[in-house]
Chain A
């Protein structure tokens, strides 16, 4: 718990910073747009429809879609920028809607008086319409701030640290304390902002001038901190060795291995390694190519499916595929495949041992006869992946039901008999713990999934010792070691750092 709390100031600060910047951008966009919409009749419909459409996009998708868009524009595609664009877009609707409503709600008699006393269009807006609409606009900002605080937890997968780090890592490693801490901190932040802005609203409607200025002063201070803090960090932080950013995807094994790499580099080099946790799968690779991430661990099968576009066939042997990937990644992306850790984390069909014995299941082909009466669980992406299509083709599998579900739940589902078959990960600690049997794949429907360390080409050339230390891990982690480490976290509730330390100790032996 104290390790969790240690991260709180940093993550809370990052979360607040994201929220404040996104709100500022959101206000900066929607206020003029809202004013314009009250002046140009057709514009109101257009902007309101657009803003509503943005609102219907799920937050995670909105943030994730920024990554390829920014990459296509050759802009920094992970980290602050995609998160801020997504969050700003999210904050537009409530502010825009309330700006339009607020201005439209000004008494027509007051508007006429404003014109009658000789105000120009701009003076009328500045002296009458905006001041009178302000409580309504501020209410819109309040709604937006609550939405943005909530949605900002989703910036973690696009590489911007937030309170979502607790939630994503906690969900994957079944660390309930982390999940709750992340949620409570985000809720507390949302309630605090809501309360402060509510107070500002009240000071506006009740014309409490002193309170209003006090609150605006607080806002100014907050923004001074937002703008000033990175500057201070830059001035004071420019010392020591080079930074190395280690990316991880959002699941237990990745957190453990990321920590292993970090500890190895911290111990054996002068570099300053830091973790960028819980990146989306595609985000991690894009970030490596762009140099936002220097190192991360991926799997040959994933790269084969998502990135590779060469000549070698998918049924080839592990070594052939690894060699071809190494060549391909270097040639196409200037990415160095530094080491293959020695284990696979492949998709594998699993059944409880008792069921395997009862029905004589040893290979995937043995399922074909039972499939029409059975259901199968898999992670969210499995049933839309080429492996699933290949399994169907090569073994003639047709299950009664396919049930995508959260990784943490699907092992429970097969253990309790909720589903008969599971698409498991071959390095998962729960395979041994739940006594699951992996079925053979003699027809090669599923490609090999060797865990490999990838390094950005420029980073590799800049720091030879980086490559040297990481290359020493080649072949050091057997599937049994990895399963034991995964089990320690997923089932025994050990901290990531402890599991990583044990794994490193096992390597040293």
Chain B
């Protein structure tokens, strides 16, 4: 889900796991109306990676990752094995990180723990609420790549909210463009470029193709500003 601030992205995300309740309409998870499922049980089936990470400051990294399995009543041994497995998956060696406190982690490490926590109980759906927004570009890129691999390995569905065009186009199978509380278009990245549904989507695409042409011009040895908005030379 791609959109500016106030477009309703996070609201939709919270509606999906019932942190908010819809005033109208229905949401189906694998064909089941989510209001038929007690909210806290529903949430155990849905991973959630928070924008502000929200690790429990009084629990060690391992306990944070294992929280949903613990709520589901897994055996401690099983939780431990799963926690270690996930820490390795997000490239935090379990032996080294399991017993750390959240305040001992960098922002990127903390968000990787956040991702591991969301995936711990093998959810069918994982919600990502601008999880990498606060990270530096290199860390962000690395985590984006890592996420793609994880999705391929673990095979979960993901709804990913961002206001970053690059992130949306790089990660998504389909992008929902939101603006002012309305869905503007739901399409693959390619379709968005090829057939923007309206002026808003078209303008949005321009914000990324413009700089891209600039980058290509720079790479080709041209002067910045030369026909930057034209693109015919590229």
Contact = CB atoms under 8 A, between A and B. Distances in A.
Q: A and B from one assembly?
A: yes
Interface of A: 107, 109-110, 112-121, 123, 127-128, 131-132, 207
Interface in B16-53: 17, 19, 40-44, 48, 50, 52-53
A113 B68 CA distance: 11
Contacts of B19: 112, 115-116
Nearest to A110: B54
Contacts of A121: 40
B132 to A, nearest CB: 16
A118 B56 contact: no
Nearest to A121: B40
Given A115-B40, A116-B54, 10 more contacts: A107-B54, A109-B52, A113-B48, A113-B56, A115-B43, A116-B19, A117-B43, A117-B117, A118-B44, A127-B67
Contacts of A112: 19, 50, 54
A128 B56 contact: yes
Contacts of B56: 110, 113-114, 127-128
B58 A118 contact: no
A120 B101 CA distance: 24
A119 B57 contact: no
Nearest to A116: B48
Given A110-B57, A112-B19, A113-B56, A118 B50 contact: no
Contact of A116 (B43, B57, B72): B43
A131 B56 CA distance: 10
Contacts of B43: 115-118
30 contacts: A109-B50, A109-B53, A110-B54, A110-B56, A110-B57, A112-B50, A113-B48, A113-B56, A116-B17, A116-B48, A116-B50, A116-B54, A117-B43, A117-B44, A117-B48, A117-B68, A117-B71, A118-B41, A118-B44, A118-B72, A119-B40, A119-B67, A119-B71, A120-B40, A121-B40, A127-B56, A128-B58, A132-B58, A207-B58, A207-B101
Nearest to A135: B58
A59 to B, nearest CB: 36
B55 A113 contact: yes
A118 B50 CA distance: 14
If over half of B's interface residues share one DSSP class (helix, strand or loop), that class is named, otherwise mixed; here it is loop
A95 to B, nearest CB: 20
Nearest to B120: A117
A128 B67 CA distance: 11
Q: How large is the interface on B (under 10, 10 to 19, 20 to 34, 35 or more residues)?
A: 20 to 34
A132 B43 CA distance: 22
If over half of A's interface residues share one DSSP class (helix, strand or loop), that class is named, otherwise mixed; here it is helix
Interface string B55-93: 111100000000110011000000000000000000000
Contacts of A107: 54, 57
Contacts of B55: 113
A213 to B, nearest CB: 16
A40 B56 CA distance: 25
B40 A118 contact: yes
Contacts of B117: 117
B105 to A, nearest CB: 15
B50 A123 contact: no
Given A112-B19, A118-B43, A119-B71, A132 B57 contact: yes
Nearest to A113: B54
Q: Which of B43, B52, B55, B56 has the most CB of A within 10 A?
A: B56
B54 A118 contact: no
B68 to A, nearest CB: 5
Contacts of A127: 56, 67
B79 to A, nearest CB: 13
A132 B44 CA distance: 22
Given A115-B43, A116-B43, A117-B48, A123 B58 contact: no
B44 A113 contact: no
A123 B71 contact: yes
Which 8 residue pairs across A and B have the least CB separation, nearest first? Answer: A113-B54, A118-B44, A118-B43, A116-B48, A109-B52, A120-B40, A109-B54, A131-B58
A120 B71 CA distance: 9
A462 B44 CA distance: 71
B99 to A, nearest CB: 12
B161 to A, nearest CB: 14
A42 B57 CA distance: 30
A114 B101 CA distance: 17
Contacts of B54: 107, 109-110, 112-113, 116
A60 B68 CA distance: 52
Nearest to B18: A115
Given A109-B54, A128-B56, A131-B58, A118 B71 contact: yes
A127 B42 CA distance: 19
A115 B68 CA distance: 11
Contacts of A119: 40, 67, 71
A323 to B, nearest CB: 74
B16 to A, nearest CB: 11
A134 to B, nearest CB: 9
B57 A113 contact: no
Q: Which of A109, A113, A116 has the most CB of B within 10 A?
A: A116
B195 to A, nearest CB: 36
Contact of A117 (B53, B58, B67, B101): B67
A123 B67 CA distance: 11
A264 to B, nearest CB: 64
